[in-house]
Amino acid sequence: MGVGYICCTSSSSSSSTLLTYKPKQLFNLANPTTTSITSQSHFKTSTNFYSISCTSSSFLPLKCGAGIDIRETQDENTSNPMMGIHNINPDLLQQMVYDALVWCSLHGLVVGDKSVQNSGIVPGVGMKHAPFALLPTSFPQTQWQQACDLMCIFNELIDRVSLDGNFLQDTLSRTKRVDVFTSRLLDIHSMMLEIKKKEEIRLGLHRSDYMLDDQTKDLLQIELNTISSSFPGLGCLVSELHSNLLNHYGDHVGLQSGRVPGNTALTGYADALGQAWKEYNDPRAVVMVVVQTEERNMYDQHWLSTVLKERHAVTTIRKTLAEVDSEGELLPDGTLLVGGQKVAVIYFRAGYAPSDYPSESEWEARLLMECSSAVKCPSISYHLAGTKKIQQELAKPNVLERFLENKDEIAKLRKCFAGLWSLDDPHAVRDALERPELYVLKPQREGGGNNIYGNNVRETLLKLQDGSEEQAAYILMQRIFPIASPTFLVRDGICHQDLAISELGIYGAYLRNKQKVIVNSQSGYLVRTKVSSSNEGGVAAGFAVLDSIYLT
Residues 50-79 that bind a copy of itself (CB under 8 A): 63-69, 71-72
Please, what is the minimum distance in Å from the beta carbon of residue 506 to a copy of itself?
A: 25
Q: Which of 40, 73, 117, 142 binds a copy of itself (CB under 8 A)?
A: 117
318 is an active site residue: no
11 touches a copy of itself (CB under 8 A): no
In angstroms, the CA 158 to CA 151 distance is 11
- CB 540: neighbour CB atoms within 10 A? 18
Please, what is the minimum distance in Å from the beta carbon of residue 331 to a copy of itself?
A: 17
Binding site for ATP, by residue number, is 223, 388, 442-451, 453, 477-480, 503, 530, 536
Nearer to a copy of itself, 343 or 441 (CB): 343
257 touches a copy of itself (CB under 8 A): no
Phi, psi of 214 (to 5 degrees): -60, -45
Residue count of the chain: 552
Nearer to a copy of itself, 90 or 493 (CB): 493
Of 488, 511, 490, 512, which Cα lies nearest the Cα of 500? 488
Of 224, 258, 269, 539, which Cα lies nearest the Cα of 413? 224
Beta-ladder partners of 496: 18, 489
**Amino acid letter, residue 206:** H
474-478 sheet: strands from edge to edge: 420-422, 474-478, 439-443
Pairing of strands 137-139, 549-551: parallel
CB 18 within 8 A of CB 3: no
Phi, psi of 417 (to 5 degrees): -80, 130
**Near a copy of itself in 18-57, by CB under 8 A:** 20-21, 23-24, 29-34
In angstroms, the CA 422 to CA 407 distance is 25
Q: Which of 43, 50, 154, 303 binds a copy of itself (CB under 8 A)?
A: 303
**Near a copy of itself in 353-392, by CB under 8 A:** 358
**Amino acid letter, residue 62:** L
Binding site for Mg(2+), by residue number, is 223, 225, 446
CB 297 within 8 A of CB 111: yes
138 is an active site residue: no
| Span from 152-160, 251-259, 317-325, 440-448 in contact with a copy of itself (CB under 8 A) | 317-325
Please work out the total of residues on this chain that contact a copy of itself, with binding judged by CB under 8 A.
74
**Near a copy of itself in 463-522, by CB under 8 A:** 492-493
**Near a copy of itself in 197-256, by CB under 8 A:** 248
4 touches a copy of itself (CB under 8 A): yes
CA angle 383/385/386 to nearest 5° reads 70
Nearer to a copy of itself, 81 or 108 (CB): 108
Q: Which of 42, 44, 107, 430 binds a copy of itself (CB under 8 A)?
A: 107
Q: Which of 125, 180, 438, 541 binds a copy of itself (CB under 8 A)?
A: 125
Please, what is the minimum distance in Å from the beta carbon of residue 30 to a copy of itself?
A: 4
Beta-ladder partners of 336: 330
**Near a copy of itself in 419-458, by CB under 8 A:** none
Catalytic residue among 4, 262, 334, 447: 447
Nearer to a copy of itself, 32 or 447 (CB): 32
207 is an active site residue: yes
Q: Which of 18, 110, 227, 265 binds a copy of itself (CB under 8 A)?
A: 110
Binding site, by residue number, is 207, 223, 225, 227-230, 295-297, 301, 349-352, 388, 442-451, 453, 477-480, 503, 528, 530, 536, 539-540
CB 391 within 8 A of CB 420: yes
In angstroms, the CA 231 to CA 100 distance is 18
Burial annotation 457-487 (CB, 10 A radius, 16+ → b, else e): bbebbeebeeeeeebbbbbbbbbbbbbbbbb
CB 547 within 8 A of CB 132: yes
**Near a copy of itself in 139-158, by CB under 8 A:** none
Nearer to a copy of itself, 125 or 438 (CB): 125
Q: What share of the chain is helix, strand, coil (3-state, %, to 5)?
A: 40, 30, 35
177 is an active site residue: no
Which 8-state DSSP code applies to residue 65? Answer: S
Burial annotation 215-224 (CB, 10 A radius, 16+ → b, else e): eeebbbbbbb
106 touches a copy of itself (CB under 8 A): yes
Q: Where are the beta strands (DSSP E) in 175-325?
A: 202-212, 219-225, 286-290, 316-319
Catalytic residue among 14, 156, 446, 458: 446
Q: Which of 170, 200, 294, 401 binds a copy of itself (CB under 8 A)?
A: 294
Nearer to a copy of itself, 294 or 469 (CB): 294
Q: Which of 175, 320, 373, 391 binds a copy of itself (CB under 8 A)?
A: 320
185 touches a copy of itself (CB under 8 A): no
In angstroms, the CA 276 to CA 519 distance is 9
The distance in angstroms from the start CA to the end CA of the chain is 36
CB 38 within 8 A of CB 17: yes
388 is an active site residue: yes
Q: Angle, to 10 degrees, between the axis of helix 180-194 and the axis of helix 360-371?
A: 30
Nearer to a copy of itself, 125 or 180 (CB): 125
- CB 125: neighbour CB atoms within 10 A? 12
194 is an active site residue: no
| Span from 96-104, 217-225, 463-471, 532-540 in contact with a copy of itself (CB under 8 A) | 96-104
In angstroms, the CA 550 to CA 381 distance is 36
Nearer to a copy of itself, 188 or 343 (CB): 343
128 touches a copy of itself (CB under 8 A): yes
**Near a copy of itself in 393-422, by CB under 8 A:** none
Nearer to a copy of itself, 99 or 370 (CB): 99
Please, what is the minimum distance in Å from the beta carbon of residue 539 to a copy of itself?
A: 26
Catalytic annotation, residues: 207, 223, 225, 230, 388, 442, 446-447, 528
